[in-house]
Chain A
Amino acid sequence: MLRVENLGHRYAGATADALHDVSLDVERGRVLGLLGPNGAGKTTLISHLAGTLALQRGRILVDGEPLAHARQRQPTQIAVAPQDYAFYGALSVAENLACFAAACRLDGAVRQARIDACIDFAQLARCAAVRADRLSGGLKRRLNLAIALLAQPQLLVLDEPTAGVDPQSRAFILEAIARLARAGAAVIYTSHYMEEIEAIADRVLILDQGRSICEGPLPELLAAEGNVLRLSAPGLDETLLSRHGTVEPPDRAGAWTLHLAAGSTPAGVLSDLEVRGLCVAQIAYGRRDLEQLFMALTHHSLRDGS
Chain B
Amino acid sequence: MLAALIRKELLVLGRDVHGLLALFLLPVIFIVVMSLALRNYYSPPLDNLRYAIDSRDAGAPAAYLAGQWQQTHGAALTLPDDWQAQLHQGRLAYVIVLDARLSDELQALTLPTTALVHLLAEPGIDGHLLNALRAELTGIAGEFKARMAMLDAGAPPPPPQASVTALVDAQRVATSGVRPTAVQQSVPAWLVFGMFFIVTSLANLLLQERTHGTLARLRSLGVPSHTLLLAKALPYFGVNLLQVLLMLGVGLWLIPALGGDALSLAGVHWPALACAIGAISAAAVGLSLLLASLVRTAAQAATVGPALNVLMAAVGGIMVPTFVMPDFMQKLARLSPMNWALEALLGVLLRGGGVAQLVPQLVPLLMLALVTGSAAAWLFRRRA
Residues of the A chain whose Cβ atoms lie less than 8 Å from the Cβ of B15: 90, 131
Task: Decide yes or no: A90 and B11 within 8 Å by CB, A98-B4, A103-B1 being known contacts.
Answer: yes
Q: Please, how many angstroms separate the alpha-carbon atoms of A80 and B216 in the complex?
A: 10
What's the nearest-Cβ distance from chain B to residue A264, in Å? 53
Partner of B219, one of A52, A95, A98, A147: A52
What's the nearest-Cβ distance from chain B to residue A163, in Å? 13
What's the nearest-Cβ distance from chain A to residue B223, in Å? 5
Q: Please, how many angstroms separate the alpha-carbon atoms of A90 and B222 in the complex?
A: 23
Task: Decide yes or no: A88 and B12 within 8 Å by CB, A99-B4, A103-B1 being known contacts.
Answer: yes
Determine if A71 is an interface residue (Cβ-Cβ < 8 Å). Answer: yes
Determine if B296 is an interface residue (Cβ-Cβ < 8 Å). Answer: no
Determine if B271 is an interface residue (Cβ-Cβ < 8 Å). Answer: no
What residue in chain A is nearest B219 (Cβ atoms)?
Answer: A52
Residues of the A chain whose Cβ atoms lie less than 8 Å from the Cβ of B217: 80, 82, 86-87, 100, 147
Within 8 A of A (CB), among B131-178: none
Q: Do residues A103 and B221 form an inter-chain contact, with CB atoms below 8 A?
A: yes
Q: Please, how many angstroms separate the alpha-carbon atoms of A71 and B8 in the complex?
A: 24
| Max chain A C-beta neighbours (<10 A), residue from B3, B5, B15 | B15
What residue in chain A is nearest B228 (Cβ atoms)?
Answer: A103
What residue in chain B is nearest A96 (Cβ atoms)?
Answer: B8
Q: A51-B219, A98-B4, A103-B5 are in contact. List 9 more A-B contacts (CB 8 A).
A: A51-B222, A52-B216, A52-B219, A88-B11, A90-B16, A99-B4, A99-B5, A103-B223, A104-B221
Determine if A44 is an interface residue (Cβ-Cβ < 8 Å). Answer: no
Q: Do residues A71 and B216 form an inter-chain contact, with CB atoms below 8 A?
A: no
Q: Do residues A91 and B213 form an inter-chain contact, with CB atoms below 8 A?
A: no
Q: Do residues B218 and A103 form an inter-chain contact, with CB atoms below 8 A?
A: yes
Residues of the A chain whose Cβ atoms lie less than 8 Å from the Cβ of B11: 88, 90-91, 95
Tally B residues with Cβ within 8 Å of A. Answer: 21
Within 8 A of A (CB), among B185-233: 212-214, 216-223
Count of CB-CB pairs between chains A and B under 8 Å: 73
| Max chain A C-beta neighbours (<10 A), residue from B212, B217, B218, B222 | B217
Q: Do residues B4 and A88 form an inter-chain contact, with CB atoms below 8 A?
A: no
Within 8 A of A (CB), among B5-24: 5, 7-8, 11-12, 15-16
Q: Please, how many angstroms separate the alpha-carbon atoms of A88 and B205 in the complex?
A: 10
What's the nearest-Cβ distance from chain A to residue B21, in Å? 16
Residues of the B chain whose Cβ atoms lie less than 8 Å from the Cβ of A102: 1, 3-5
Q: Do residues A85 and B212 form an inter-chain contact, with CB atoms below 8 A?
A: yes
Residues of the A chain whose Cβ atoms lie less than 8 Å from the Cβ of B213: 82, 84-86
B-contact bits for A90-115, CB 8 A (1 contact / 0 none): 11000100111111110000000000
Q: Please, how many angstroms separate the alpha-carbon atoms of A193 and B345 in the complex?
A: 62
Q: Do residues A75 and B8 form an inter-chain contact, with CB atoms below 8 A?
A: no
Residues of the B chain whose Cβ atoms lie less than 8 Å from the Cβ of A151: 221
What's the nearest-Cβ distance from chain A to residue B174, in Å? 46
7 CB < 8 A contacts A-B? A51-B220, A80-B217, A85-B212, A88-B12, A91-B12, A98-B4, A103-B221
Q: Do residues B7 and A99 form an inter-chain contact, with CB atoms below 8 A?
A: yes
Chain A, interface size: which category?
A: 20 to 34
Residues of the A chain whose Cβ atoms lie less than 8 Å from the Cβ of B216: 50, 52, 82, 86
Residues of the A chain whose Cβ atoms lie less than 8 Å from the Cβ of B222: 51, 71-72, 75-76
What residue in chain B is nearest A74 (Cβ atoms)?
Answer: B222
Q: Please, how many angstroms separate the alpha-carbon atoms of A105 and B227 in the complex?
A: 13
Residues of the B chain whose Cβ atoms lie less than 8 Å from the Cβ of A79: 220-221
Task: Decide yes or no: A91 and B220 within 8 Å by CB, A85-B212, A86-B212 being known contacts.
Answer: no
Within 8 A of A (CB), among B355-370: none
Q: Please, how many angstroms separate the alpha-carbon atoms of A50 and B11 in the complex?
A: 27
What's the nearest-Cβ distance from chain A to residue B231, in Å? 10
Q: Do residues B214 and A95 form an inter-chain contact, with CB atoms below 8 A?
A: no
Residues of the A chain whose Cβ atoms lie less than 8 Å from the Cβ of B3: 102
B-contact bits for A61-87, CB 8 A (1 contact / 0 none): 000000000011001101110101111
Task: Decide yes or no: A52 and B220 within 8 Å by CB, A88-B214, A95-B11, A98-B4 being known contacts.
Answer: yes
What residue in chain B is nearest A82 (Cβ atoms)?
Answer: B213
Task: Decide yes or no: A99 and B8 within 8 Å by CB, A82-B213, A86-B214, A90-B15 being known contacts.
Answer: yes
Q: Please, how many angstroms separate the alpha-carbon atoms of A157 and B223 in the complex?
A: 19
A-contact bits for B96-108, CB 8 A (1 contact / 0 none): 0000000000000
Residues of the B chain whose Cβ atoms lie less than 8 Å from the Cβ of A80: 217, 220
Residues of the A chain whose Cβ atoms lie less than 8 Å from the Cβ of B221: 75-76, 79, 100, 103-104, 151
Q: Please, how many angstroms separate the alpha-carbon atoms of A104 and B219 in the complex?
A: 11
Residues of the B chain whose Cβ atoms lie less than 8 Å from the Cβ of A76: 221-222
What's the nearest-Cβ distance from chain B to residue A100, in Å? 7
B-contact bits for A102-137, CB 8 A (1 contact / 0 none): 111100000000000000000000000001000000
Q: Please, how many angstroms separate the alpha-carbon atoms of A151 and B221 in the complex?
A: 9
Q: Please, how many angstroms separate the alpha-carbon atoms of A102 and B212 in the complex?
A: 19
What's the nearest-Cβ distance from chain A to residue B243, in Å? 21
Q: Please, how many angstroms separate the alpha-carbon atoms of A98 and B218 in the complex?
A: 13
Q: Which 6 A/B pairs are nearest by Cβ-Cβ distance?
A: A75-B222, A102-B4, A86-B213, A50-B220, A90-B15, A84-B213
What residue in chain A is nearest B3 (Cβ atoms)?
Answer: A102
What's the nearest-Cβ distance from chain A to residue B287, in Å? 25
Residues of the B chain whose Cβ atoms lie less than 8 Å from the Cβ of A86: 212-214, 216-217
Q: Please, how many angstroms separate the alpha-carbon atoms of A84 and B217 in the complex?
A: 11
